[in-house]
Amino acid sequence: MSEDMRPIEELSFREAMAELDSIVGMLESNTLELEESLVKYERGVALLRALKGRLGEAQQKVEVLMGELSGDKDDEARDTTLS
């Protein structure tokens, strides 16, 4: 791993998004050699996977907090349909 590529888990969400945006720009520029393009593509996929995971976790936290705000509903009043 090169010095400028920190482990993804050490990056903030904003830093990971910025790096992914940079990688997309490099790949779209068609200026990289094939080998470097593959390395960047792999890093981009890993960043995207990590970002999606973080978003999923954040969404779950928000849903839990929203449930706490709305109070506990009894089973008959709870909406059990899938959206």
- Rounded to 5°, the CA angle 29-34-36 comes to 80
Least confident of 10-14, 51-55, 78-82: 78-82
Q: How does the average pLDDT of the chain come out, rounded? A: 88
- Number of Cβ within 10 Å of residue 12's Cβ equals 9
**CB distance 51 to 20 below 8 Å:** yes
The second-level CATH assignment, the architecture, of 10-65 is: Orthogonal Bundle (1.10)
Instruction: Determine the pLDDT at residue 73.
Output: 58
Distance CA 82, CA 79 (A): 9
Q: What is the pLDDT of residue 70?
A: 81
Q: Any idea where the domains of the chain sit in the sequence?
A: 10-65
Q: What pLDDT shows up at residue 26?
A: 97
The number of angstroms, rounded, from the C-alpha of 81 to the middle of its chain's C-alpha atoms is: 27
- DSSP 8-class letter at 9: G
